[in-house]
Amino acid sequence: MSMLNVGRPTAPEALPDNDYKHPTLTGGRGLLQDEALIFEMGAWDKTGVDLDEVDLDLSDLGGLTRDEAIGLPGLSEPEAMRHYVRLSQKNHAIDLAIYPLGSCTMKHNPRLNERMARLPGFADVHPLQPQSTVQGALQLMDSLAHWLKTLTGMPAVALSPKAGAHGELCGLLAIRAAHEAKGQGHRKTVLVPTSAHGTNPATAAFVGYRVKEVAQTADGRVDVADLAGKLGPDTAAIMVTNPNTCGLFERDVVEIARLTHEAGAYFYADGANFNAIVGRVRPGDLGVDAMHINLHKTFSTPHGGGGPGAGPVVLSEALAPFAPAPWVVSDGQGGFRLEEREAGEAAQAFGRMCVFHGQMGMYVRALSYMLSHGSDGLRQVAEDAVLNANYLKARLETEMTAAFPEGPCMHEALFDDRWLDGTGITTLDVAKALIDEGFHPMTMYFPLVVRGAMLIEPTETEPRAELDRFAEALLALARAAKAGELERFKGAPYHAPLRRLDETRAARQPKLRWRPESPTALAAE
């Protein structure tokens, strides 16, 4: 069948004013629908799940029946499908373009991992089934532990922490328990470099430690002299991210570990940036006592719009006995046992991080990724991640100012905003203008030690063509900024689903949930 084209224009007509824009009548824009909230479109009596209405004697509920309306609208299946597909189209994603958020390691998420996690043998297994019925699940945890220990050169691992910050908590609790066991419970200070992730000082304070900041040198590393001066008989631990949040390897890390141990303290490493060194450097060889590993960064479990993550913590001999419950014990003959008691077998577990055994679904995905890469592939991961970052640094340095131009960076390139001096344009403006060009911005204003920081982490899964496309967009923006094209930046984004959002208003007049316009609307069921 062919379309009848008689009388129908087949080329756009020239308009008098090419800049003419008008708001649409519906709020929709091309493929982007203006989507209402489910509370504005669903119905209290509609459901997208076919379930029978059963006759029921409610006497076993002890009079606790819920008689009033709950306030949960329902959608039919086609309506639900459209609602969530429409919303999805308003998200940037790694599957769409580079997602260069420094410190977040937004890499490709293999779909094989998703398929493996959904095998009924993993997904449809209850955490408290008899252990004889979950030998494969325990074997998987044991295998994952073996890979993590081998890659880090550490003798033990606590798998159960549910995210990076939860892993930090686990590591500090083990450190605290170890000090108490040695009669060193009076040690109450944790040293944290000024460039650290916010979770480091937050975690230390959360477990009752005083946080003391360690200065940074002009070349972006821990100031070892300042550290040496601050280590003392009250120091419980030092928390160092390596490679650090400036994207640099701590050259003096072995000396930092030596000084820390000499002072009777433990060395906690934030492993958020492990992707830069996996397969090439083992933290155990650097003198680390505890390090969390974000499986959702280095080992590609999907970020899912903010979680779930997983943050297993590898531990040194000194800290291993204090690992939290539970852990897997292998009988060496293919059989496995989950030890859920908090004491016994020379163990002095400091407690428990969570109910059950941690993020099994993430363990499966991470192991699937490790098996796929193998020891050789993982080494290549680190090399390509570092190569990509240095390539972007080299290309962007022609217009932008690198915060630490001397020497190579690791997996991420850090720029400051000196190149914007005199333009009236800020780091935030550049980020929003990048959105217009189709890219997710880099991490902005972090680390705090660099003015107007722009932290760019491409990861190893970006092809060269995408790196070039991103670099050219950013270089073009840099030239536009220097040419004084203020409007391009100050009003950006113009082409995203929404323009710049008023975050001040959101915080001053918090509206954290939908409420009916009239209080009776809910009850009108």
Partner 1 sequence: MRYLPLTDADRRDMLSVIGVEGVDALFADVPQSARLSGPVDLPRRAGELEVERRLGAMAARNVTAGSAPFFCGAGAYRHHVPSTVDHLIQRSEYLTSYTPYQPEISQGTLQALYEFQTQVANLLGMEVANASMYDGSTATAEAVMMATRVTRRKKAVLSGGLHPQYVHTTETLAHVAGVRTERLTPAIDAEAAVIEAIDPDTACVVVQTPNVFGTATDVSAIAEAAHRAGALLIVVVTEAVSLGLLKAPGAMGADIVAAEGQSIGNPLTFGGPYVGLFACTDKLVRQMPGRLAGETVDADGRRGFVLTLSTREQHIRRDKATSNICTNSGLCALAFTIHMSLLGETGLRRMARINHAQAKKARDALAAVPGVEILTPRFFNEFAVQLPRPAEGVVDALAARGVLAGVPYSRLEPGVMDDVLLVAATETTTDEDIEALRSGLAEVTA
Q: How far is the CB of 144 from partner 1 (least distance, A)?
A: 11
Spell out a b/e string for 204-243, using b for 16 or more CB atoms within 10 Å of the CB, else e.
beeeebebbebebeeebbbbbebbbebbeeebbbbbbbbb
Structure tokens at 221: 């590393």
Contact residues for 502 (Cβ-Cβ < 8 A; gap 6+): none
Q: How far is the CB of 421 from partner 1 (least distance, A)?
A: 24
Residues 371-430 within binding reach of partner 1 (CB under 8 A): 371-381, 383-384, 386-388, 390-391, 393-395, 407-408, 410
- Among the listed ranges 142-150, 233-241, 261-269, 450-458, the one in contact with partner 1 (CB under 8 A) is 142-150
- Among the listed ranges 8-16, 226-234, 347-355, 475-483, the one in contact with partner 1 (CB under 8 A) is 347-355
* Distance of alpha carbon 109 from alpha carbon 101, whole angstroms: 15
Residue of the chain from 98, 102, 110, 402 that contacts partner 1 (CB under 8 A)? 110
Residues 202-241 within binding reach of partner 1 (CB under 8 A): 202-208, 211
426 in helix, strand or coil?
coil
Which CB, 483 or 506, lies closer to partner 1? 506
Does 19 sit near partner 1 (CB under 8 A)?
A: no
C-beta contacts of 210-219 below 8 A and 24+ residues apart: 214/238, 216/449, 219/248, 219/404, 219/406, 219/407
Cis peptide before 302 (omega within 30 of 0): no
Residue of the chain from 13, 17, 19, 60 that contacts partner 1 (CB under 8 A)? 60
Residues 174-203 within binding reach of partner 1 (CB under 8 A): 176, 197-199, 201-203
Residues 316-345 within binding reach of partner 1 (CB under 8 A): 324-325, 340-342
- With tokens 């959002």, the residue in question is 501
Q: How far is the CB of 18 from partner 1 (least distance, A)?
A: 20
Contact residues for 515 (Cβ-Cβ < 8 A; gap 6+): none
Residues 83-102 within binding reach of partner 1 (CB under 8 A): 83-85, 87-96, 99, 101
Q: How far is the CB of 451 from partner 1 (least distance, A)?
A: 18
Contact residues for 464 (Cβ-Cβ < 8 A; gap 6+): 391
C-alpha to C-alpha distances, 195 to 200, 214, 283, 449, 450, nearest whole angstrom: 10, 9, 20, 6, 9
- Among the listed ranges 165-173, 226-234, 260-268, 473-481, the one in contact with partner 1 (CB under 8 A) is 165-173
Residue of the chain from 510, 517, 519, 520 that contacts partner 1 (CB under 8 A)? 510
Q: How many residues bind partner 1 (CB under 8 A)?
A: 210
Residue of the chain from 233, 304, 405, 424 that contacts partner 1 (CB under 8 A)? 304
Does 256 sit near partner 1 (CB under 8 A)?
A: no
Which CB, 187 or 395, lies closer to partner 1? 395
Q: Are 140 and 271 in contact (CB under 8 A)?
A: no
Q: How far is the CB of 417 from partner 1 (least distance, A)?
A: 18
Q: How far is the CB of 274 from partner 1 (least distance, A)?
A: 13
Which CB, 265 or 440, lies closer to partner 1? 440
What DSSP letter does each residue of 330-369 carry, written as one string? E-SSS-EEEE-SSEETTEE---BSSSTTS-HHHHHHHHHH
CA angle (85 as vertex; 299, 307 as ends), nearest 5: 30
- Among the listed ranges 123-131, 224-232, 450-458, 480-488, the one in contact with partner 1 (CB under 8 A) is 123-131
Which CB, 37 or 483, lies closer to partner 1? 37
Does 513 sit near partner 1 (CB under 8 A)?
A: yes
477 in helix, strand or coil?
helix
Does 281 sit near partner 1 (CB under 8 A)?
A: yes
Which CB, 251 or 421, lies closer to partner 1? 251
Which CB, 232 or 491, lies closer to partner 1? 491
Instruction: Centre a 10 Å sphere on the Cβ of residue 180 and count the other Cβ atoms it contains.
Output: 15
